Structure 1
Amino acid sequence: MSEVKIVATLTPLPEFIDTIRDAALAMVSPTHREAGCLQYDLHESHAVPDVRNLENKGKVSFVFIERWKSEEDLKQHVAMSYHDDFLDILSGKLENLNVQRLTEL
């Protein structure tokens, strides 16, 4: 089976930034213990409204960069009870959720 790569970006509503940060951080440790997890990194992102001025002034997002040994391993991850709990916490608190599957060229 081939490796699966995912980038998931969560953009919280401003009043829920700390709640989403805490919930996202809580996902990292248990996910790293999953047998099929090759990479599960969390980053905080600040949009750059003007590429000529690279100061971090824009919206806050949280970005997961994930690599899984196989499709089955990814399916097992999203079936974990703590993943369901995480989705429950996110409910109604995000401006946007964007999950992308990457294919290397």
Structure 2
Amino acid sequence: MSEVAVVAISVAKPGFEEQLREAMVGIVGPTRKEQGALQYDLHRDLKEPRRFVFVERWESETALAAHAGSAHIAAYREATAQWVEHFEIRVVTKIA
């Protein structure tokens, strides 16, 4: 299987920026320890501070699927559901 990359964008509801940021920072460590995780970095938009961007690289789609089904991601989703105004995820593969 080939490596996949992910760009995941979350926009916090007004007033929930710091709660969402803290929750996101909290999943970085456990995720980086997952089997197949090659890169898992959290960024914040300089011009739109409510917008957070994860840039991820995974060994395979199987590794990404395991991550999506992990206990810490399920707990994160449940805890932050009311704080997120918009969520978008793109799974891509490098071509050049």
- The structure having more radius of gyration, on CA atoms, is 1
The answer for unaligned runs of 5 or more in structure 1 is 47-55
State the TM-score, normalized to the length of structure 1: 0.84
Q: 1:78 aligns with which of 68, 77, 81?
A: 68
Distance 1:104 1:36 in 2: 17
Please state if 1:94 is matched with 2:88: no
Pairing partner for 2:50 from 60, 68, 73:
60
Identity %: 35
Partner of 2:16: 16
Give per-residue Cα distances to partners, 1:45-85, cap 9 Å, x unaligned. 13xxxxxxxxx3x3521100000001110111111110001
Q: Over aligned residue pairs, what C-alpha RMSD do you find? A: 1.2
Q: Gapped runs of 5+ residues in structure 2?
A: none
Could you say which residue in structure 2 is the equivalent of 1:53? Answer: none
Work out the number of aligned pairs and report it: 95
SS state at 2:51 partner: strand
For 1:66, the aligned partner's letter is E
Deviation at 1:104, TM superposition (A): 2.8
> Which residue identity does 1:16 align to in structure 2?
F
Partner of 1:52: none
**Corresponding residue for residue 45 of structure 2:** 45
CA drift of 1:6 comes to 0.5
Supply the AA of the counterpart residue of 2:39: Q
Instruction: For residue 87 of structure 1, give the secondary structure of its aligned residue in structure 2.
Output: helix
